Amino acid sequence: MKHGIKSGINTHTPGLKGAIHRWMANRLEFILSIPGGRLYRRHVRACQRVEAEQLRVLREILTWSQDTEVGRQFGFADIRTHADYRQRVPVMDYEQHRPWIERHAQGEENVLFPGRPMVFTRTSGTTAKPKLIPITQFNFNRTIRNRGKLWLHNLSRHFPGIYAGKDFTLVSPAFDGETEGGIPFGSLSGIVYQNIPAFMKLVHTIPYEVLCIPDYDAKAYALLRFGVPSHVTCILTGNPGTLLNLAQKADLWKDTLIEDIRAGTLSHDFAFTDELRATLEAMLEPAPERADELAAIAQSHPTFRPADYWPDLRLVHTWTNGNCALVIPKLRDWFHDETPILDFGYIASEINASDVIEPGSNGSHLSVRSAFYEFSAFEEDDQPTRFYMAHELEVGRRYFIYVTTYSGLYRYDMNDVVEVVGHFHQAPILKFLFKGKGVTSLQGEKLSEHQLIEAVAQAARDTGIGHDFFTAVADPELPGYTLYIELHGDPTDARTAQFAAAVDNALCQVNIEYAAKRDSERLVPVRVLPLREKAFDAYRIMRLTEGAFEGQLKWLHLSMADDMALRRMEGILHPSVIPSPPATGEEA
């Protein structure tokens, strides 16, 4: 966008306060450098003495929680060393923490930690019941309140000018509801986004009200309506699939967007409530010059791309590791080759484990002050013989990670596999690789084998179609899931489609993250390919022929797609099946 051409987004705040806020917003990188520089120097000092810093964090957490029910059960007050901690407290997953967490959710205090949670974040669990992850005020004060200052300051160190214009930042709504005990649950990123200083809100392209729109197409259009005409120099969003989908929709809706920008309106083709429409339209103004510029871009280019309507873009900050790596080449086509796409770092609902990103390594510094971390060798799988502290990790090796947090998670099994790609002083630089066994995640849905089994059983009940042997693969190329299953009766196209729709619907019911990714078109619908009669017998013979032992013959109901797994399943497809290329995200 040419400097001086108005975007049509009204961010003017009258009076002296408004003038001060605008002055500060225009100097955001300098302002962030003051607290950000101080936090970065603290981070460096911690990384120079990782073992001591980690033991300090562990002592602080255990001392804080020693008089809680869990603290007394495990004798936190008597723990003096890491060896004591390992001996007293077992590794535990979410389901083992769930009974204590649910008591907090019902309003009970002093179970996992002193007092009540400040808020819960909600995400998919391994069962049909979502996970509630507690966030305590203690944790917020220690690790969350200032992380944005350090994170953004570090980005601006490596990519000067990212705040020469505005950011296009996508987060989830701060609050989705309350637990039985009256404790809110929602998105921590949304809470932070909603409560930033007033001057920083002038840098955001997206009003918070847009982030809360429930209808996905309406939300996507509103995001683009505010984003496309603006002078965006930085994109911040965790999921590259979301960004790819929005880029595709901007191209699809470009004529409507341009006319709305010209008139200062909001299209009536989408499901906005009257109240929301009035709120959003009050933020919009006619921008005929910007509309002319966008119309010229649309006419002179075969595709309406962010590369062209955001020509000053300095950084795309999103996940690039794990399964997201397969989205990045598709996303790259929408941006200039020289526009950096930087990994978002290792963060999850349970823990923000990295505040400082290392551009050269595609990894992020472990935030050694944010939690206590333990690791086990990936090669040892379910039977680790040794747990490592952060300073003991070796470059090039893969590890499972376990966290003890300021929010009441103790030796919590993240079921994540990370690789050490370097060191910053003594701190490991980590790259997320994939979820551990029994869980797949193409777009952040974290689907478990248990949920798949439950969904298939529910689909059989809903359709009356019986089945025998089945297995499913998560295919990042789609992205989506293919279910190979032996259905009772003749597997006609109609019956197969009916069963596929029922499985897809059931997965939406048992996994809230899967439902969100389907609603936003980041996952395509489940594809069902029927297997031949007595498919398991054929599979068994195939595996034994390959050299598997009869007494150890196992299969996963859910796994990532690989050439061997696909060849096995295609070898036992029903004779009527002619596999065809699945629908892409644009066709679905």
pLDDT surpasses 80 at 27: no
The confidence score (pLDDT) of residue 216 equals 87
Burial of 547 (0-12, 13-18, 19+ CB in 10 A): exposed
The whole-angstrom separation of Cα 544 and Cα 552 is: 10
pLDDT surpasses 90 at 32: no
Who contacts 390 (Cβ-Cβ below 8 Å, separation ≥6)? 50, 51, 54, 366, 368, 373, 375, 427, 428
The confidence score (pLDDT) of residue 565 equals 76
What is the average pLDDT value for the chain, to the nearest integer?
Answer: 88
* pLDDT > 70 fraction of the chain, expressed in percent and rounded: 90
Residue 540 CB neighbour total at 10 angstroms: 16
3 state DSSP class of 26: coil
3 state DSSP class of 527: strand
Residue 388 CB neighbour total at 10 angstroms: 17
191-211 exposure pattern, b = at least 16 Cβ within 10 A, e = fewer = bbbbeeeebbbbbbbbbbebb
pLDDT surpasses 70 at 4: no
Characterize the bridge pairing of strands 427-435 and 447-448: unpaired
CA-angle at 228, arms to 222 and 233, nearest 5°: 120
Q: Which residue has the higher pLDDT, 104 or 36?
A: 104
Residue 532 CB neighbour total at 10 angstroms: 16
Residue 107 CB neighbour total at 10 angstroms: 12
pLDDT surpasses 80 at 298: yes
Contact call for residues 283 and 207 (beta carbons, < 8 A): yes
The CA R_g of the chain, rounded to the nearest whole Å, is 25
Contact call for residues 351 and 432 (beta carbons, < 8 A): no
The confidence score (pLDDT) of residue 56 equals 97
Who contacts 26 (Cβ-Cβ below 8 Å, separation ≥6)? none
The whole-angstrom separation of Cα 199 and Cα 178 is: 30
Average pLDDT score over residue span 514-543: 89
Q: Which residue has the higher pLDDT, 576 or 66?
A: 66
pLDDT surpasses 60 at 13: no
Q: Band of the pLDDT at 403, cuts 50, 70, 90?
A: very high
**Least confident stretch, 8-12, 48-52, 101-105, 302-306:** 8-12
Strands (E), 20-106: none
**Least confident stretch, 26-30, 372-376, 535-539:** 26-30
Q: Which of 113-117, 473-477, 547-551 is predicted most confidently?
A: 113-117
Picking from 128, 125, 77, 76, the residue whose alpha carbon sits closest to that of residue 101 is 125
Contact call for residues 557 and 536 (beta carbons, < 8 A): no
The whole-angstrom separation of Cα 472 and Cα 453 is: 10
Q: At what angle do helices 147-158 and 28-47 cross, to 10 degrees?
A: 100
This model's pTM is above 0.75: yes
Q: Which residue has the higher pLDDT, 480 or 191?
A: 480
Beta bridge partners of 417: 400, 434
Q: Which residue has the higher pLDDT, 560 or 301?
A: 301
User: How many residues in the chain?
Assistant: 588
Burial of 550 (0-12, 13-18, 19+ CB in 10 A): exposed
Average pLDDT score over residue span 211-225: 93
Q: Which residue has the higher pLDDT, 156 or 545?
A: 156
The confidence score (pLDDT) of residue 242 equals 86
Residue 273 CB neighbour total at 10 angstroms: 12
The confidence score (pLDDT) of residue 382 equals 67
pLDDT surpasses 90 at 484: yes
The confidence score (pLDDT) of residue 406 equals 97
Picking from 332, 319, 312, 310, the residue whose alpha carbon sits closest to that of residue 226 is 310
The whole-angstrom separation of Cα 52 and Cα 46 is: 9
The confidence score (pLDDT) of residue 174 equals 85
Picking from 541, 538, 569, 544, the residue whose alpha carbon sits closest to that of residue 556 is 569
Contact call for residues 334 and 358 (beta carbons, < 8 A): no
pLDDT surpasses 60 at 471: yes
Q: Mind listing the pLDDT tens digit for each residue in 54-105?
A: 999 999 999 999 999 999 999 999 999 999 999 999 999 999 999 999 999 9
* pLDDT > 90 fraction of the chain, expressed in percent and rounded: 62
The whole-angstrom separation of Cα 472 and Cα 298 is: 42
Q: Mind listing the pLDDT tens digit for each residue in 411-450?
A: 999 989 899 999 999 999 999 987 777 788 899 898 988 7
Contact call for residues 326 and 479 (beta carbons, < 8 A): yes
The confidence score (pLDDT) of residue 30 equals 77
**Least confident stretch, 175-189, 431-445, 464-478, 493-507:** 431-445
Average pLDDT score over residue span 235-240: 89
The confidence score (pLDDT) of residue 551 equals 42
Residue 81 CB neighbour total at 10 angstroms: 11
Q: At what angle do helices 240-252 and 254-263 cross, to 10 degrees?
A: 80
Average pLDDT score over residue span 512-521: 92
**Least confident stretch, 190-204, 325-339, 373-387, 533-547:** 190-204
Residue 360 CB neighbour total at 10 angstroms: 9
pLDDT surpasses 50 at 552: no
pLDDT surpasses 80 at 264: yes
The confidence score (pLDDT) of residue 9 equals 73
CATH for 443-570?
3.30.300
Q: Band of the pLDDT at 19, cuts 50, 70, 90?
A: low
In terms of C-beta distances under 8 Å and separation of at least 24 residues, what long-range contacts does 46-51 make, across chains too? 46/368, 46/369, 46/427, 47/365, 47/368, 47/424, 47/425, 47/426, 47/427, 48/425, 48/426, 49/426, 50/368, 50/389, 50/390, 50/391, 50/425, 50/426, 50/427, 51/389, 51/390, 51/391, 51/426
Q: Which residue has the higher pLDDT, 362 or 109?
A: 109
pLDDT surpasses 60 at 460: yes
Q: Where are the domains of the chain?
A: 159-171+188-342, 443-570
Sign of CA dihedral 525, 531, 535, 539: negative
The whole-angstrom separation of Cα 535 and Cα 527 is: 18
Q: What is the DSSP letter of 284?
A: B
Picking from 319, 324, 402, the residue whose alpha carbon sits closest to that of residue 363 is 319
HSE-CB for 447 with a 13 A CA cutoff: 33
214-235 exposure pattern, b = at least 16 Cβ within 10 A, e = fewer = eebbbbbbbbbbbbbbbbbbbb
The confidence score (pLDDT) of residue 469 equals 86
HSE-CB for 474 with a 13 A CA cutoff: 27
Average pLDDT score over residue span 512-538: 91
Contact call for residues 70 and 100 (beta carbons, < 8 A): yes
First to last CA, the chain: 33
The confidence score (pLDDT) of residue 323 equals 67
